[in-house]
């Protein structure tokens, strides 16, 4: 009799576990289906297209596998090579400027400043503002009759440069705008890391007679390694995905000055209707981002092992 009760009790527990599992899965099933439809399926289709030649007039039946031909042709394509070089230049400038500036902005925000919450809100606001609005504002700022040209004229420059319209300045102007847009979000991440640094470490450094520079180099920066690692990885990945500002403000120009990988993929696919060639470039971009992430994680793991 007791054995029967035990069996029925085990069955009841199993039923509860199954019921709880089904309840949990029911909450995530919509997201899983969404990811599968809008991410997994397009990724697989894009991968197949990258090895194919597609006659779109015949629909899916027009897809013909041609091997690595698209990947080979890609490296002889001038637009792709230029976009890759531009993206590398942009990435280096963007990551370095954003990390350095946002770190010191976070240090400033950590101190007692007048209207601290208001300053934090104003710093973070550009990150959530629509990219179209940001582009419109900076197009006005950099225009011939805009305040930036007026400022240079005030300094005595008779014919100030139009930064977004000149090849030697356009990429740097776009970089500055992107840094300004992402600055608030990155600074808030650094600020969260700074707040979590134990005050005991600073007090111990004060007792040892350490100045602000030594505390910065030997306490603050080492304690912010996890935060810095996260910001570096996400910033590197985001630097290879910049599109909106370029599409609205410069259209990749003047010439090819601001053409970068994602914009070139868009241009190849939707302006020249070369979906298979664009898919091959997209796969290369995916591999680049994957390699960057792997390198970053390995470097970080080695640092933790050494500590």
Is the CB of residue 260 less than 8 Å from the CB of residue 170? no
The pLDDT value recorded for residue 295 is 80
The pLDDT value recorded for residue 293 is 81
pTM of the model: 0.84
Mean pLDDT of 116-142: 88
CA distance linking residue 226 with residue 297, whole number of Å: 11
Categorize the per-residue pLDDT at 135 as very low, low, confident or very high, splitting at 50, 70 and 90: very high
Is the CB of residue 142 less than 8 Å from the CB of residue 164? yes
* Range with lowest mean pLDDT among 44-58, 150-164, 206-220: 206-220
End-to-end CA distance of the chain: 60
Give whichever of 29-33, 90-94, 234-238 has the largest mean pLDDT: 90-94
Percent of the chain residues topping a pLDDT of 70: 94
> In sequence order, what are the beta bridge partners of 53?
64
The pLDDT value recorded for residue 263 is 95
Over residues 265-297, the pLDDT tens digits come to 999 999 888 999 999 999 999 998 888 888 877
Over residues 31-50, the pLDDT tens digits come to 888 888 988 999 999 999 99
The pLDDT value recorded for residue 235 is 92
What does the block give as tokens for 15?
A: 């039923």
The pLDDT value recorded for residue 305 is 57
Mean pLDDT, the chain, integer: 87
Mean pLDDT of 126-136: 91
Cα 168 to Cα 159, 165, 173, 246, 254, distances in angstroms: 16, 9, 10, 16, 9
Over residues 19-35, the pLDDT tens digits come to 888 888 888 888 888 88
Query: Please, which residues have CB within 8 angstroms of residue 265's CB and are 6 or more apart in sequence?
Result: 278, 281, 282, 285
Over residues 193-214, the pLDDT tens digits come to 998 888 888 888 888 787 888 8
Cα 91 to Cα 29, 198, 260, 280, distances in angstroms: 37, 33, 10, 21
Is the CB of residue 246 less than 8 Å from the CB of residue 252? yes
Q: Which residue has the higher pLDDT, 172 or 208?
A: 172
* Range with lowest mean pLDDT among 107-116, 181-190, 227-236, 247-256: 107-116
Categorize the per-residue pLDDT at 56 as very low, low, confident or very high, splitting at 50, 70 and 90: confident
Q: How far is CA 138 from the centre of its chain?
A: 21
Q: How far is CA 59 from the centre of its chain?
A: 34
The pLDDT value recorded for residue 1 is 47
Buried b (16+ CB within 10 A) or exposed e, 197-236: beeeeeeebeeeebeeeebeeebbeebbeebbbebbbbbb
307 pLDDT higher than 60: no
The pLDDT value recorded for residue 303 is 59
217 pLDDT higher than 90: no
The stretches of the chain forming alpha helices (DSSP H) are: 2-35, 41-50, 69-74, 78-110, 116-128, 131-141, 147-154, 167-195, 199-207, 212-215, 221-223, 225-239, 244-249, 261-266, 275-306
Percent of the chain residues topping a pLDDT of 90: 41
Mean pLDDT of 86-105: 95
CA distance linking residue 69 with residue 50, whole number of Å: 9
């Amino acid at each position: 009799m007791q054995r029967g009760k035990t069996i029925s009790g085990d069955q009841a527990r199993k039923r509860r576990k199954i019921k709880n599992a089904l309840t949990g899965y029911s909450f995530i099933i919509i997201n899983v289906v969404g990811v599968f439809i809008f991410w997994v399926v397009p990724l697989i289709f894009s991968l197949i297209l990258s090895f194919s030649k597609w006659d779109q007039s015949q629909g899916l039946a027009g897809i013909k596998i041609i091997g690595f031909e698209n990947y080979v042709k890609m490296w002889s394509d001038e637009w792709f090579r230029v976009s890759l070089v531009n993206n590398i230049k942009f990435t280096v400038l963007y990551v370095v400027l954003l990390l350095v500036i946002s770190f010191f902005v976070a240090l400033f925000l950590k101190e007692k400043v007048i209207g601290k919450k208001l300053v934090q809100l104003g710093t973070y606001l550009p990150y959530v503002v629509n990219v179209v609005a940001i582009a419109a504002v900076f197009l006005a700022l950099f225009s011939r009759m805009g305040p930036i040209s007026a400022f240079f004229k005030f300094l005595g420059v008779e014919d100030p440069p139009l930064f977004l319209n000149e090849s030697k300045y356009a990429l740097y102007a776009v970089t500055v705008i992107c840094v300004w847009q992402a600055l608030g979000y990155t600074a808030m991440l650094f600020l969260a890391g700074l707040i979590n640094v134990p005050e005991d470490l600073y007090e111990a450094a004060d007792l040892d007679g350490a100045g602000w520079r030594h505390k910065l180099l030997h306490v603050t920066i080492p304690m912010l390694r996890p935060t810095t690692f996260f910001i570096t990885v996400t910033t590197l990945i985001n630097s290879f995905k910049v599109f909106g500002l370029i599409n609205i403000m410069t259209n990749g120009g003047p010439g090819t000055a601001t053409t970068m990988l994602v914009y070139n993929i868009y241009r190849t696919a939707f302006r020249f209707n070369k979906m298979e060639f664009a898919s091959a470039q997209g796969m290369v971009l995916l591999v680049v981002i994957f390699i960057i992430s792997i390198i970053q994680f390995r470097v970080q793991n080695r640092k933790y092992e050494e500590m």
